[in-house]
Amino acid sequence: MRCLYCDKPIEKYTLYSFLLEPDELCIECRKKLKVKHRYLDLGEFKVESFFEYDSLFKSLLLQYKECGDEALKKVFLYELKSYLDIRYFGYKMIMVPSSKIKLQSRGFDHLEGIFEDVKLQKVKGLRMKEELCQEGKKFFERAKMADNYVYEGEKLAKVLIVDDMVTTGSSLRGVYRAMALHAGKIKVLSLAYKNYTLQS
């Protein structure tokens, strides 16, 4: 097997990768993709997050998400899946939806792939009111994102909102507000974080 990032053959193993689950990154690349656990304070709520959006994380995510390299989907939550199953036991999971245009051009839902092996039950019913593009958005559009989601599913006692990236937090804020009308307890998770000033 070869490392999905650097393409060198995988010859060394950790005890975990040898006994429990083979890693698709080599030991050197896995070391570089270090988990740097943070809770980001967005005021209304906190976001649990695992990775700094550095150049390695960025290239992995873009390669997976925008270049359609689906083999990478298991790389992100490697060793973190069981943690999530335990930490959020009893929670149902809802993913921040991508715009329809993005979904069509990618041909797959990148968050579904990343969270596929997490055992928490996944819930649907969240959508964007308007198809606003996420990238390169201006301030007024970001502000709009915070009011751009609607949830039309069942009532939920406990829900975990998940996304891949938190930058300004505008999408997460929007989803949080939409879910607050329909859920008892809400927790929020983002794989990676970009804005250091949000750290707490």
Name which position in 29, 72, 77, 118 contacts Zn ion (CB under 5 A): 29
Instruction: Tell whether residue 57 is a contact of Zn ion (CB under 5 A).
Output: no
Written as six digits, the tokens of 76 are 């992100």
Which lies closer to Zn ion via its Cβ, residue 16 or residue 89?
16
How many CB atoms are located within 10 Å of the residue 98 CB?
A: 20
State how far Cα 171 lies from the chain centre. Answer: 12
- Whether 193 contacts 58, CB under 8 Å: no
Which lies closer to Zn ion via its Cβ, residue 8 or residue 124?
8
Instruction: Tell whether residue 114 is a contact of Zn ion (CB under 5 A).
Output: no
Residue 30 C-beta: closest distance to Zn ion, Å: 8
Residue 26 C-beta: closest distance to Zn ion, Å: 3
- Whether 76 contacts 56, CB under 8 Å: no
The binding track of 9-28 with respect to Zn ion, each residue x by CB under 5 A or -, is: -----------------x--
| Residues paired with 40 in a beta bridge | 47, 199
> C-alpha angle with apex 54: 141 to 143, nearest 5 degrees?
10
Give the C-alpha separation, 90 to 74, whole Å. Answer: 23
Which range of residues in 1-9, 16-24, 35-43, 181-189 is near Zn ion by CB under 5 A?
Answer: 1-9
Q: Where are the beta strands (DSSP E) in 27-182?
A: 38-41, 46-52, 92-95, 126-128, 149-151, 156-166
Which lies closer to Zn ion via its Cβ, residue 5 or residue 64?
5
Which lies closer to Zn ion via its Cβ, residue 32 or residue 137?
32
Which lies closer to Zn ion via its Cβ, residue 5 or residue 149?
5
Instruction: Tell whether residue 3 is a contact of Zn ion (CB under 5 A).
Output: yes
Residues that bind Zn ion (CB under 5 A): 3, 5-6, 26, 29
